[in-house]
């Protein structure tokens, strides 16, 4: 009788695949990822197993023409599809763990390799999520805020004009929807919603404190009840807290927070994210990285894990504005009731 023994290389590949699969399950934004233009985060795998350092995405616009009616001639009156392109460069991220030594390892119940994989899985997932949150929030060109007089602002003063009490409300969500469908500035495009069973939806991600303030809104109860009944099987609704006017509301701790929003004040606020279709683009390349290595005459074991990927917020070159404009991301800047230091 002969026992089967897998080679070390096969074991490494297996652990690498498990690491990546489990890490992906932990990534918060996975629920918003897909390969079509109907996803908030569009994913491409073109570099998987191929050479290259970037991926080109096509950003597609809604059709805006009137079409023809009756027996009017359609031939020669076709509408051109408007698209923009966006390049995403990839990079490598890695981390590693090393055991203290064979004597230490054998005196503990927990398996070093299993613990290392679990810790690297959480690290990878949090790193990717933080990268996406930071990138979507950086240098916004479309933002909604409020000032001390309760007037909503659509310009660069969205943060500096913020005052205590300018909290998240259902009225703010209604305005976000309006701005997505009918942009405030001529250089901005209509934000395409995500189509769920024939109905268009946007996603709003609030900080925990902003969501607390939203729940104090008198209209919260009705909207909260509706959110539990509609679209519950679609990924964008998983973990959602609220549905209002076609906007699915989520909460996440990694929403960017700040203090001193208004001049000379101590306003605590957050840069909440309002997202439409193709708000971001994610390029994934190659197989996950899993390397095992021995040190100190094989007394210590080290394992390293990582991925090669790239992520960017979608932007387009506006024919009106001088600089690039955000394609499907809008900042909802609110002050927050301070619930922590």
pLDDT tens by residue, 131-140: 999 999 998 9
Under 8 Å between Cβ of 299 and 332: no
Is residue 73 included in any domain, yes or no? Answer: no
The region of weakest confidence among 152-156, 234-238, 307-311, 328-332 is 234-238
Is residue 69 included in any domain, yes or no? Answer: no
Q: Quick one: DSSP state of residue 246?
A: T
**Chain centre to alpha carbon of residue 267:** 26
pLDDT tens by residue, 108-117: 646 777 888 8
Is residue 180 included in any domain, yes or no? Answer: yes
pLDDT higher at 45 or 277: 277
Is residue 207 included in any domain, yes or no? Answer: yes
pLDDT tens by residue, 271-328: 999 999 999 989 887 667 788 888 888 888 888 888 888 899 998 875 544 468 898 9
Is residue 2 included in any domain, yes or no? Answer: no
User: Residue 75 to residues 63, 68, 69, 71, 81: CA-CA distances in angstroms?
Assistant: 17, 10, 13, 11, 16
Is residue 56 included in any domain, yes or no? Answer: yes
Token match 């897998």: residue?
Answer: 6
Is residue 1 included in any domain, yes or no? Answer: no
- Identify the band that residue 4 occupies on the pLDDT scale cut at 50, 70 and 90: very low
Number of other CB atoms surrounding residue 4 within 10 Å: 4
Is residue 25 included in any domain, yes or no? Answer: yes
Residue span of the structural domain in which 278 resides: 7-61+80-341
| pLDDT (0 to 100) of residue 284 | 81
The count of domains in the chain is 1
Q: Measure the CA–CA gap between 46 and 51, rounded to whole angstroms.
A: 10
The two tokens of residue 179 are: 């701005």
Question: If 0-12 CB within 10 Å is exposed, 13-18 middle and 19+ buried, where does residue 126 land?
Answer: middle
Nearest to 163 by CA among 340, 341, 333: 333
């Amino acid at each position: 009788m002969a026992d089967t023994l897998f080679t070390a290389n096969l074991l490494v590949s297996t652990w690498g695949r498990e690491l990546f699969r489990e890490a992906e399950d932990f990534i918060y934004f996975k629920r918003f990822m897909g390969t079509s233009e109907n996803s908030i985060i569009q994913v491409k795998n073109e570099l998987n197993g191929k050479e290259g350092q970037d991926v080109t995405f096509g950003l597609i616009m809604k059709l805006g023409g009137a079409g023809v009616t009756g027996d009017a001639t359609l031939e020669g009156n076709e509408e051109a599809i408007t698209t923009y392109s966006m390049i995403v460069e990839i990079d490598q991220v890695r981390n590693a763990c090393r055991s203290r030594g064979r004597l230490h390892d054998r005196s503990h119940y927990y398996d070093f390799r299993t613990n290392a994989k679990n810790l690297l899985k959480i690290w990878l997932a949090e790193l990717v999520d933080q990268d996406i949150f930071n990138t979507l929030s950086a240098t916004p060109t479309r933002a909604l805020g409020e000032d001390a007089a309760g007037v909503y602002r659509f310009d660069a003063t969205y943060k500096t004009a913020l005052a205590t009490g300018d909290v998240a409300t259902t009225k703010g969500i209604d305005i976000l929807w309006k701005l997505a469908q009918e942009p405030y500035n001529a250089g901005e495009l209509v934000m395409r919603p995500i189509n769920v069973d024939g109905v268009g939806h946007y996603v709003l991600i609030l900080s925990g404190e902003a969501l607390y303030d939203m729940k104090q809104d008198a209209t919260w109860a009705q909207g909260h009840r509706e959110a539990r009944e509609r679209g519950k099987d679609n990924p964008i609704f998983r973990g959602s807290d609220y549905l209002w006017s076609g906007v699915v509301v989520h909460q996440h701790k990694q929403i960017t927070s700040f203090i001193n929003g208004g001049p000379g004040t101590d306003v605590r606020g957050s840069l909440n994210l309002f997202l439409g279709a193709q708000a971001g683009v994610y390029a994934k390349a190659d197989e996950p990285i899993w390397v095992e290595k021995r040190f100190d005459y094989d007394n210590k074991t080290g394992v390293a894990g990582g991925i090669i990927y790239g992520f960017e917020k979608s932007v387009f070159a506006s024919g009106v504005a001088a600089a690039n404009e955000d394609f499907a991301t809008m900042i909802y800047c609110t002050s927050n009731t301070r619930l922590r230091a």
